[in-house]
Chains A and B, each alone.
Chain A
Amino acid sequence: MGIKLLKVNIFKKLKEFDLEVDFELKQKRLGILGPSGCGKSMTLKSVLTSDEETVYFDSNRKINLKPQKRNVGYLFQNYALFPNMTVEENVASGLSKGSDNKIVSEMIKRFHLEGLEKRYPRQLSGGQQQRVALARILAYGPDVILLDEPFSAMDTFLKEQLRIELVNSLKDFDGFSIMVTHDRDEAFQFCDELIVLDEGKIIAKGDIYEIFENPKRVQVARLTGCKNISRIEIIDDFHLRSLDWGVDFEVSERISPDITHIGIRAHDFSAAEKDDVNVMDTIDSTLLEMPFEWEVTLANGLWWKYDKQIDNHEFTVPEYIKVDPKDIILLEK
């Protein structure tokens, strides 16, 4: 396998915005997270299609090839299996005529498709279709695999199952993989590195744990699942007033003048006494029961999620709750 480093540099004028994406991939698995219509799929397609702006590096030799020669595997949302070909023919479709038939039987075995060789895609379950699609891609031997929201159209149960299957299937894959998604759980599960896109621009880039712990920007916080976000007014170096909730907070980090918002994750609250730091009352809050958590919405709009057992149906909302100063995420616009 020739690739040591994957470089992508895309500039494209779109109707609503310009797509400007530029990254280098060193780790094996990259996630691209963003709301729908932010240019995620376009980025993925650009890695694929023969646009002059896309530069694709192979062992540092600058080349810009036709999709046929890029050696990129693409897992489509609907898998795009050829409906007129059997499982076997689908898996073999990327191989050139003279090539070894052994690869096909190897892939059939590796993806547990024995006995299904003569079936047509319509006769397969969603999970089997995904495995055929992956077998077809890996038989072709790509350097990079692109995954375009592979689970977006599935029900929860199937989704969980296929996610696990996908992670396992790609474990032995030696090249890079890039997954586009709007689901933070998928991104977190699958990726080592993350890029967050908004309106065609990269707004965060780096190690996945770092981005989730310290999103830095409002959009990123929202996309990584931060439920509570408020505009603020700075009081002094360590104190601020939230404008949306009408509460003053103390924070553990010096507030730089660029900070315009704060975020608090719904799980970061706990019961408190009246005179604790960062306390607020729970008068007029509403309580909702979920299978594994209680959801409390305070009168000022803040969300609190509290874990519970499935057989527990009693919960008294404490009179006061608080948030630790170090759990308040400082955000820039």
Chain B
Amino acid sequence: MMNWDPIIISMKTASLSILITFFIGLIVAWGIVKLKNDSIKIVLDGIFTLPIVLPPTVVGFFLLYIFGVRGPIGKFFIDFFAVKIAFSWSATVIAAVVMSFPLMYRSARGAFEQVDSNLVDAGRTLGMSEWKIFWKVLFANALPGIISGGILAYARGLGEFGATAMLAGNIAGQTRTLPMAVYSEVAAGNMGSAFDYVIVIVFIAFIAIFIMDYVTLRKEKQWK
């Protein structure tokens, strides 16, 4: 009988992390697009893109440094809320968010930059608020690109391994996500149960991509 814990943990982690990544990615991308100073733009872009370029274990190392019991944020949470972040379920979410963020941010930024800047100016001259322009003009017209960024980020979050291993560990029933479970089963020589998890991952990833692609296509067809 297959142990369902990794599946449930992974679904929870991937769902929560995509929610966080999606909105933070959008807002950060918007901020970067609006930024006028090119050198600040380049520096910030570098920082936001770094996690995708660095080896996941290196990112995990940094995260451990920050969120670990002696790290600045980790210590703060322990002292004030008596909550330990490292090696808890929330650590899997943090690792997934950080690792999937660059994909969301870069896709959203690219999608925003593709939107005709005249549309934004038109919105302004028509008295639309910046907030309304963001949602009704920028977001709505960049939606296909944003959704594909969302797909990528979700898939990345679901498959996150290296940084998760560093920050959250591989605690059965707590932080053992699907990729961790595959690794553990293989390490223990249980190729059969590893295969079951692999099937589940492929299935979930495929369904997610299918749903989002379908939504994008329908939206695009509607305007054309």
Contacts and interface: CB of A to CB of B under 8 A. Distances in A.
Nearest to B139: A84
A93 B136 CA distance: 9
B223 A120 contact: yes
Contact of B121 (A66, A76, A93, A137): A76
Contacts of B122: 74, 76, 80-82
Contacts of B125: 48, 67, 70, 72-74, 142
A120 B141 CA distance: 13
Contacts of A85: 136, 140
Contacts of A72: 125
A136 interface: yes
A137 B125 CA distance: 9
B interface majority secondary structure: helix
B137 interface: yes
B79 interface: no
B129 A68 contact: yes
Nearest to B137: A82
A interface majority secondary structure: loop
Given A80-B118, A80-B122, A82-B136, 20 more contacts: A48-B125, A67-B121, A68-B127, A68-B128, A68-B129, A71-B127, A72-B125, A74-B122, A76-B122, A78-B118, A80-B119, A82-B137, A82-B140, A83-B141, A84-B223, A85-B136, A93-B128, A94-B126, A122-B223, A136-B126
Given A67-B125, A68-B127, A140-B126, A80 B116 contact: yes
Among A48, A66, A83, A85: residue with most chain B CB under 10 A: A83
A94 B140 contact: no
Interface string B123-139: 11111110000001100
Interface residues of B, number: 20
A96 B132 CA distance: 11
B124 A67 contact: yes
A93 B123 contact: yes
Among B116, B119, B125, B137: residue with most chain A CB under 10 A: B125
A68 B124 contact: yes
A84 B129 contact: no
A136 B125 CA distance: 11
Given A76-B118, A80-B119, A80-B121, A94 B127 contact: yes
Nearest to B120: A80
Contacts of B140: 82, 84-85
Contacts of A48: 121, 124-125
A204 to B, nearest CB: 28
Which 4 pairs from chain A and chain B are nearest by CB? A94-B126, A80-B122, A80-B118, A67-B124
Among B119, B124, B143: residue with most chain A CB under 10 A: B124
Interface string A51-89: 000000000000000111111111011101111110000
Contacts of B37: none
A78 B116 CA distance: 10
A77 B117 CA distance: 12
B222 interface: yes
A140 B222 contact: no
Contacts of B123: 82, 93
A82 B119 contact: yes
B224 interface: yes
A22 B45 CA distance: 40
A312 B124 CA distance: 54
Contact of B126 (A78, A83, A93, A122): A93
A85 B121 CA distance: 16
